[in-house]
Structure 1
Amino acid sequence: MAKETVVVVCPGRGTYNAPELGYLARHHGGSPWLAHFDTVRDGAGKPTLTALDGAAKFDPKLHPRGDVAAPLIHACAFLDFLELDRERFEVVAVTGNSMGWYTALACAGAVSGEHGFAIADAMGVNSQAHEPGGQAVIVMAGEDWRVDPETARAVEAACARAGVLPSIRLGGMLVVAGPETALDALNAELPPLPRPPLRLPGHGPFHTPLMQASADAARAALPADWFGTPQVPLIDGRGKVWRRFETEAAALWDYTFGHQILAPYDFTAAMTVAIREFAPDRVVLLGPGETLGGAIGQAIVALQWLDIDSKYVFSLRQEDDPFLVAMGREAQRRGVTK
């Protein structure tokens, strides 16, 4: 029987929240990889992932912090990836959103599992090294998940007037970043929208030149010789595909700790390339959580893939035969794991 083809998506920050507390224990307790990650962190004098994941309650001042959230999310996603049933599913490409790029590197085999965790762990710390500033999410899509092109142009113009920069293109949403004063001024410039911009607490001005200190720290601490060629196609935050026999490891290192940190991350472009070029039978979103599912759904609607042209049609398809499988959702998880 032929295997189903899947594109795998690795989530970024903001996906390990109160409902996800205990995710590692529930799904990956006893994993040798989790034990390894704990040993690494314990040796560095950091709280282990098992301890953080096993806390009595979610701490909104601790768990979302970069140096905690990044390794937790990476471990959840990477171990989920290892649980995919490879006898039934063929991974034809891997991508990720923002911090999920580091997990995608490990899932695609461009770096080892050990180095993938070391990168995610270090970048969780490095992400806190930046000029003053933050991020906000602007929702442009309507209830049907469609984006009016005129609204999108008006939002971009408003951002330019306020002095904020595009950070992540996320389906029907735009994440912007910049100094706090610019983010404060944004509301007055924006056209009417479904809801006001949402500030992301604890987030820096990611994917902008304000992150230069983070990029410098990464280049100094994370060696280029950790990088190799991906074993499956790897789609970056520009929509570029890194293929096994075409990739220069040094160029992949340079992108990861240069452009990927300092320039906008276009997750919409990554998903567009993933779907159009690889035409997978399904898209698998790794855990924890499933908050990235909306952005993926909005990208699918924009493409009108499989005649899915609205949130309503997407929801109907998901009930009948899910095209998007979220491993953070128990019923869907069971359909793709060993």
Structure 2
Amino acid sequence: MSFFQVQVDRIAGIRVLSLTGGMIGSHSVDEVATLLARDATLVWVDVPECSDQAVTLLTDVLKCHPLAVRDCMQRNRVPRVRIYPHQQLLILHGPERGPSSHVHYLALDQIIGEKYVVTVPGPINPTVPIDVALRETDGVRKRIEAGRLRPDSPYELSYAITSALTHRLKAFIEDLTRDVWDLERRVTGGHMGNPEEFLEELFGAWHGLLAVRMMGALGAEVLGRVAALEARIPVDERPLIADATDQMNRIRNLADGEREYGALLDLRHEHHRQRHHPRHPVGRGALDHGWRGPSAAAGGKGPHGGTGLTVVLAPGHHGPHAAEGHPSHRRSGGRSGALRQRLLS
């Protein structure tokens, strides 16, 4: 069974809201064409999944570009923006933690027209609850229905949705930081337990920070592209795009700062290990002494301007297969070597 087939049974129907002045209305899909013909009316079409009905609505009523419709139907692994004559497609990602340090990338697609906004969550893993994918749009809709938010234009509505996504990114960093602080307490208190299990936990936090860092960095890139199209954006709306871009850049910077802290923790763990277990050859931790933070030389930077990572093995330890004849090397080279391979892959 495909992702799409599993999704169909879990998702509610299309939701249509209209905002005219201070008035809010809820409508059926059949009313969308009439709503678009009204003056001074903003229409929000929230599509939980791209069913045949949704594709017909996007294509025949909202006149969305075929490539935009195609992107809403498929899984998009990279954020992007597509500019069309009367609309823009904006795709951003949010995180959700999974098992074994996995981070789910949840796409949120927005089609921003002259009088409407369409929101579509990308196809998700069947193990992820559908309400997780709808968290941002549900939150914004509830604020509108409660009278706490009154967007007057498609850009104001899109800005509210994008800001809700950045709040999720910040909350994700907060959760990972709590994990890093717990690891620090264990290091400083001398209660790390199994060194390899400690490294697994440290890797999970570091991997999550790297994922959210990439979401912020790439989100800022695509929003920056929108901001650069000044001729296409009303003057009053440009500060919203600039602020959304700044929010994504701050997500990247927050994640970078916490990753540096995680690298320092890794060095402290290595110092503690060398001091108390000098003969235990567990390499040099998940992040190693080859870590380079944002201030590294240009040659140390990774893709998308990210910080570089160099793994340096402990003296006399040249990988998981270097000293297979020694039992202690076999024990430590397994999971620690696998960690290094995961970091480099």
Q: TM-score, normalised by structure 1?
A: 0.26
Q: Which has the higher helix share?
A: 2
Q: TM-score, normalised by structure 2?
A: 0.25
Tell which has more relative contact order, 1 or 2 (C-alpha 8 A, sep 6+): 1
